[in-house]
Structure 1
C-alpha cells in the first residue's frame, strides 16, 4: 500500500513508519518522512492527514478559544475568535521568566548566551484556569563545557548549563503560578519555590472547577506532600504526607475522584507497596503486602475495580530485576499473575482493560512482542520478534549477569559485565566501573534494548 500510494520502495521488515498511534478502534495514524497519514482499518484506505502544524511555543486551551504563549519573558493569551490579546504577567525579565521551564539537557552557547525557548502551560479541563511556572535563574551558577569537536574553528566552543550539586542553595528555582483566564487574576505561590530538578507537580480535578491537586517532593527525597487546593477560596487541604529517614523512592499517587480515593505507593512497611487513601478521612488501607517491591502502577480500571501493577522480586525463583504484570481486584484483593515468563515485561494495556501488549526480553534475550487477552491465557498472538542477525555478523557479545551479596550480608545485588567481542580469558583488561547506587534508578540493563550503555564498547579493548 505504501509503495503504491507514495511510490516509495519498501521492505516488509523495514517500513519507513514512525509515531504509530491507534487513536480510535478504526484508524491508525503514523508518519512517513515527516508527513502524517491515516489508515482506515475497516475499509483499509490510506490517506494523508493534513492536521495542523504543532508549535511547541503555543498552547491551545481545551475548548479551543485561547492560545497561551510568551513574549519578552511574560505570559500572554490570545483569543482564537477575535484575535484579542491579554497580557497576564508584567514582571518577567531575562533569567526571571514566566510560562517556561528549564530543560534538563538545555545547553547554552557562549558567554551569557540564550538557552533554548520553552513553554509550559497546564490547562484546567474547563479552560477557566491554567498553571505554569516562573523560572528563576538569576542566582544559579552555570557549569561549563568545552567542545573541541569542531575542527573548522580551531578552538573549543564554550558551552554551559545549569545543574546543582548536593547542598547547593543557589539553584534554578521553579515558582508555581496560576491564571484565571476570564479575570486575568494571577496567583503566585512564592512560598513553594522548588528546584528545576524536582518542580512541584499539579493535576487538575475532573469534577470540581478551580480545584487542583498538588504534589510536592521536598528536596532531599525524605518527604512528599499531597494537597488539594481550591483556587477560588485559596484554601489548601493536606491529604497525605510520606516521610522517610533515608529516602523516598519514586513515590506515586493516582487520584480517583469518583471514589474520593487515591491509590498511592508507600514504603511504610519496609517494602514499596500499594495503599488506598481515603481523601476525606485520610485513612490508609493496604492493598498489597509482602517482601517484594511494587515498581509501577501500569493502569487503574475504575469500571472493573482493578489495578494492574509491575512488582519486582515477587515470583520465587525468578530473576528479581525483571518486572512482571499482576492484576489486583480491589473488591477481594485477589492477585493474578498475567506474565509468567521469567523475563522483563514492558507492558501497554488497552484503554478498555481487555488486552495488553507485552515486550518480553532480558539483557541477553532479544525482544519479542505478543498480544494477550486478559483472563484468557491461551489467546496469545505473537506480533514480532527482533532479528539480531546483524549483531551476530558483528560477533556481538551480550552482557553477562552476575550477583554479589551486599555489605549487610543478606541482600543480593545484580550486576552486568560487558566484554569486548575479541575477549580472551588469558589476557588482562582494564575495567571501567559504571555503577550508580541510586536512589531512584539503577544501571543494570533490565531489558535487551537497554543492554547497550555504550554502543562502541563491544569493539573496544576494555571491560565495562
Structure 2
C-alpha cells in the first residue's frame, strides 16, 4: 500500500521530470542568461551615445556607432547640415605617431573631446591631453591628462544623512566690505571691518540650547543681516558591525546620524537684524509651528525683503514667506496645502521672476501637477500657466525677458502611454502653448545654449530610437540626424519586450507595464510569472525608452519565466488621486492593480501560469516584495526581498514621513512587514548588506526575528561588508536559484567549483 509520503515523493518526482523536459531552469538556461548581454551587444547601430552642443555656437557634435565602429559627427544647426567632424584616418595616424601607440581609425581611443577656436580640437588619450589643428592634423602633446576620481567611499564621497553643525560658521563680511558679522557665545555680533575691538552685540538671548546659527546672511545693500535662531534636536545614531574589514582581522564598529520617523527635529526661527539701529525682528513662531524644515534665507536683490520656505511636519502645508527688511513684517506669498501630502521632495518648483515681483510655482491643487504664476508682492495667483488632465514633469528653461518657459510634460497626447515625456513651450500668461514634440515616444532633449534649438531623441520600449534636430520655437524638424537600426538584433534570438495595459481596481484607469519573454520562448509551454517590483511613491519605474534588456528583465526570463514590471496606483507621474493611494498606506503598493493586470495578461496569453507567481525587489521594492507574500498570498507564492524597509518606523525620516505622514500612528504598524510576519505563506528569501546605511539593516534583522518567533520558514542572506544593494552577483544568483527551485520545481544547477552532494 502506498503511503502519503511515498505518494508525495512520486508526485514531486513526476513534476520535476516534467519541468526538466520543458528545459526550464537548466544549466543551459543559466548559461544563456549569463550570456544574454553578449548576444545583444553592439547589435543596435546608428544610435548615438553622446550629444554635446559646442559652447555658445549653433553647432553640436555626437558620436555615432556604425557597422564599422565609432564615427564623430558635427552638425551645423544654423545651416541644417551634418558631416564628419574630422578625417578619422588622418587623426588616427597623427595620434599613433605622436603617442607611439596603435590607433584604429574606427575606434579612436579618445575622451573629453572639445572643439576649440581656429579649427582646433582637444581630447584625452593614452593618459595624456592632445591638441590637434584640423587644417593639417598637426598634433601637440599637452601633458598628462587630469583625472577626476570621484569614486570616494560609500555614498559617492559622503553619507547622505550627515548633518552640518549649524551652530558654527566663519565670520561673514558685508557686500560693501564695511562690516563683519559672526556668532560668539551663541549670539550675533558685528564690528567695523578691521576694528574687532568695536564689536556690537545684536542678540542677547542665545544659549547652547537655543542658539543663533553660524550661517549669517547680509542683505545686498549691507544694511541688514539675517539668520536663524535654532532649538536643536537630539540626534539618533544607528550602528553597524563591519564583520569582515579588508584592513584588519577584527571587526569594526561604525555609526551614522540617521533620523527616523517620529524623531525630534530642529526648530528654526528666522531673525532680521538692522545693525545701524540694533533692532531685531523675529518671525512669529505661530506662523511656522511643528516644522519639518525652514529653508535658508534668500534676499531680494534690492534688499527690500528676504524669503524663506516653511515645510510643516506631515507635509500637508508648504509655504513661502516674505519678511519686510525694514519692518520685519512677515507675510505668506504662497501657502500650499493638501489633505494628504504636498510632494515637496519630488514636485516642488519655484522660480522667482524679476527679483521676486512674480513667482512661478508648481502645484497639484487641481488634481494634476501644473504651473502657476503668482504676484510676488501680494501673493495672489495671477493665472494658471498650464492646465489639463496631464502633468508637468520638469521645467527646463525660463526666459524672463521674453516671458516664456520650456518644460517636460506627460499624459497630454491622446492615445499615448501617459508616462511618455514630451516637450512644450508656453508663455507666462498661459497663452502660446506649443507642443515642441508629439511623436508617440519617450522624448529626451539636449538644448543649445540659447535654447533656440534642441536635439530630440525619442523611442519606446518597443520602438528603436530616432534622433532629430528641432526648433525650440515651434518644434519643427530642422534636420533628421540618425535612426537606429536593429536589423542585426532581430537576427538573433532576442525577444522584444511588450508594452501591455489593463484596467486598475477602479475599472477606469489604465495601468501600464511591460512583459519580457525568454529568447527560446515557446507559446505551447507554461511559464511561471515573476514580477520585478519597485512601488516607491517618489516616481514611476517601468522603462519607457528602448533597451535590449529593460530593467534586466530578459536576463531573468532566460531561466524559463515570463517577467513583468508594472506601475500600479500609489506611484507618481499621474494624477494626484492616483498618487494619493499611497498615503498612510504603503503596504498597498498598487497590488490590486498589479494582480488585475497580470490576470488580464494571462487571459490574452494562456502560457502565463498565474498559479505560480513570484516577485522580487530591492529597497522599497524589497518591502513590496515581502509584503506581497504577507498581504496577498493567494496570488504571490514566492518572493525575494533585498534590503527592504520592512517597517517604515525603522527607515529614514524624510522618505517615510513624506508618504506615511506625521504623527506616527497605528497605520505605521498596519503597514509593517515585521508586525505582520505571522501572515507569511509561500516562500520568502531576505537579503541584506550588513553595512547598508540607506535602509537600516536592523529592519531586515527584526523581520527575521519576527518570522522566527512566528515559526515561519524562510531563507536569509546577510552579505558582509555590502551596502544598500540586491546582494551583488552572489545575491542575484541566489535569487535566480530561489525562483527556479520554488516556481519551476527544479533543483538549480550546481555552482561552478562545487560538487553535487546528493
TM-score (norm 1): 0.65
Residue aligning to 2:237:
141
Instruction: Spell out, residue by residue over 1:286-324, the C-alpha distance to the aligned partner (whole angstroms, 9 max, x if none).
Output: 122222222222211223221212222111112211011
Q: What is the Cα deviation at residue 388 of structure 1?
A: 6.5
Are residues 1:224 and 2:318 paired?
A: yes
Deviation at 1:350, TM superposition (A): 3.0
Distance change (3 Å), C-alpha of 1:35 and 1:51: closer
Partner of 2:514: 416
Rg: which structure is higher? 2
Q: Residue 351 of structure 2 corresponds to which residue in structure 1?
A: 254
The whole-number CA distance in structure 2 between the counterparts of 1:352 and 1:375 is 11
Secondary structure class of the residue paired with 1:241: strand
- The CA distance in 2 between the partners of 1:427 and 1:269, in whole Å, is 46
Relative distance call for 1:256 and 1:139 in structure 2 (3 A) is same
| Match status 1:434 vs 2:530 | no
Asked if 1 retains the 8 angstrom alpha-carbon contact of 2:504 and 2:510, the reply is yes
Tell me if structure 1 keeps the 8 A contact 2:119–2:133.
yes
Structure 1 window deviating more from structure 2 (413-422 vs 449-458): it is: 449-458
Helix, strand or coil: the match of 1:431?
strand
Change (3 A) 1:259 1:194: closer
Q: Secondary structure at the match of 1:215?
A: strand
1:314-353 matched pairs, under 5 angstroms: 314-330=412-428, 333-353=431-451
Residue pair 1:312, 1:320 contacting (<8 A) in 2 also: yes
Match of 1:116 in 2: none
Greater relative contact order, per chain length (Cα 8 Å cut-off, separation 6+): 2
| Matched residues, number | 408
SS of 2:421's equivalent? coil
Contiguous gaps of at least 5 residues in structure 1: 57-69, 80-85, 93-120
Determine helix, strand or coil for the equivalent of 1:429: strand
For 1:45 and 1:125, the matched residues in 2 are separated by: 54
Contact 2:124–2:145 (CA under 8 A) maintained in structure 1: no
Q: Report the alpha carbon displacement of residue 339 of structure 1 after superposing the two structures with TM.
A: 0.5
- Indicate which of 326, 332, 337 corresponds to 1:243: 337
**Aligned partners of 2:234 and 2:362: how far apart in 1?**
36
The equivalences for 1:259-338 within 5 A come to 260-284=357-381, 285-330=383-428, 333-338=431-436
Distance 1:51 1:188 in 2: 53
Offset of 1:413 from its aligned partner?
Answer: 1.7
Q: Cα–Cα, structure 1 residues 228 and 49, in superposed 2: closer, same or farther, change >3 Å? A: farther
Q: Are 1:371 and 2:469 matched, yes or no?
A: yes
TM-score by length of 2: 0.43
Change over 3 Å in CA distance of 1:33–1:189 after alignment to 2: farther
How far residue 279 of structure 1 moved from its aligned partner, in angstroms, is 0.8
- How much is the aligned-residue C-alpha RMSD, in angstroms? 5.6
Kept in 1, the 8 Å contact 2:172–2:182? The answer is no
Q: Once the 2 structures are TM-superposed, how far is the Cα of residue 143 of structure 1 from its aligned partner? A: 6.3
Distance 2:497 2:267 in 1: 40
Are residues 370 and 158 of structure 1, via their aligned partners in 2, closer, same or farther at CA, if it must alter by over 3 Å? farther
Report the equivalent of 1:380: 478
Is the strand fraction higher in 1 or 2?
1
In the alignment, the residues of structure 1 paired with residue 434 and residue 398 of structure 2 have an alpha-carbon distance, to the nearest angstrom, of 15
Q: Secondary structure at the match of 1:361?
A: strand
* Structure 1: distance between partners of 2:326 and 2:398: 30
Q: Which structure 2 segments of 5+ residues have no match?
A: 1-85, 151-163, 174-179, 187-214, 565-758
